Structure 1
Amino acid sequence: MEERDLEKATLAGGCFWCTEAVFQRLKGVYKVIPGFTGGTIKNPAYREVVTTAGLSHAESIEIQFDPSEITYAELLYIFFSTHDPTTLNRQQYDVGTHYRSAIFYHSEEQKTIALEVKRELENEKIFKNAIVTEVSEAGGFYPAEPEHLEYYNKHREQQYCQAIIDPKIKKLKELYSEKLKQAEA
């Protein structure tokens, strides 16, 4: 088996069921793990994150990707175009700090790229409102419980998946068809 030099990206763009579904369809992405980061306790449970004020965790995904196939900047452009980075602590019907838009960088290079992409989108006025996506250093990442893994792929018939995630996948296919894995194109 071919050895790959994978990098890590950690992003929060609302519900991790949505972001997992988007990023696992991309060429060069080898693993997407939904979980929690940016908070005050170790190994939080989903119920704790969504019901306990002050924990500060964000529903997020940890992506393992091959930068020779897809760059960190490309991941960020896809991230910004498949969620609303202008709503503070909210994505559609999902409300709370755990649904915030955030980029958790793993190196100074990632920090620089994240700030540059964000600044470029702001300068080009891609969005009607200001981008509120936070850019913070990555800390501990805690995988979600097993029932959250592959959620969209296992539950496409559910109303949430059809109403919220299907449009994101459709947009991904429209904007980035050349970046999709063969089975998704």
Structure 2
Amino acid sequence: MADPNRPNDPARTNASSSSTTVKKSGGGGTIAFILAAVVIVVIVLFWLFSGDADTAVEQDAEAAAAGAEAEIDEEAADVGAEIDDAAAGADAALDDAAAETEEAVDDAGAAIDDAAADAEAAVDDAAADTADAVEDAGDAVEGAADDAAAEIDAEVGPAADGDEEVDAEVVDETAN
């Protein structure tokens, strides 16, 4: 049996087709039209504003990119300045090291020249001392020879004249 509280009960709708006629009001088409118009307006507005939103997003992206590029340029300039400063410092250090090396080489050259002059003076002094010693030795030998000759003459001379006999032992001692 059909339940009167259930309007869509199949038993009720099939029981009598004349007693269950559903009336449609004229407002149903208007609501559908209004809903369709609202959907169309929303789509149009979305389309219009999405274009502006895309443009705004693009502008924001371009501004962000420009800002990032400016920041990168600034950082690059700072790094370039630091590199230039480091290079200038390295050049100055190299120049200082070269000057110190040149000064050390000059000092070493002067020390070598001084040592060579001292050595030459020492050789000259030694040569002069040696020449003096040789001359003194020659004088001593010559003096000893003169003394020996005088002694021999003193011993042999009278014997040669026939006055005295020559003592062979005295002649040998004097000659040595």
Greater per-residue helix proportion: 2
Q: State the TM-score, normalizing by the size of structure 1.
A: 0.12
Q: Which structure has more RCO (C-alpha within 8 Å, separation ≥ 6)?
A: 1
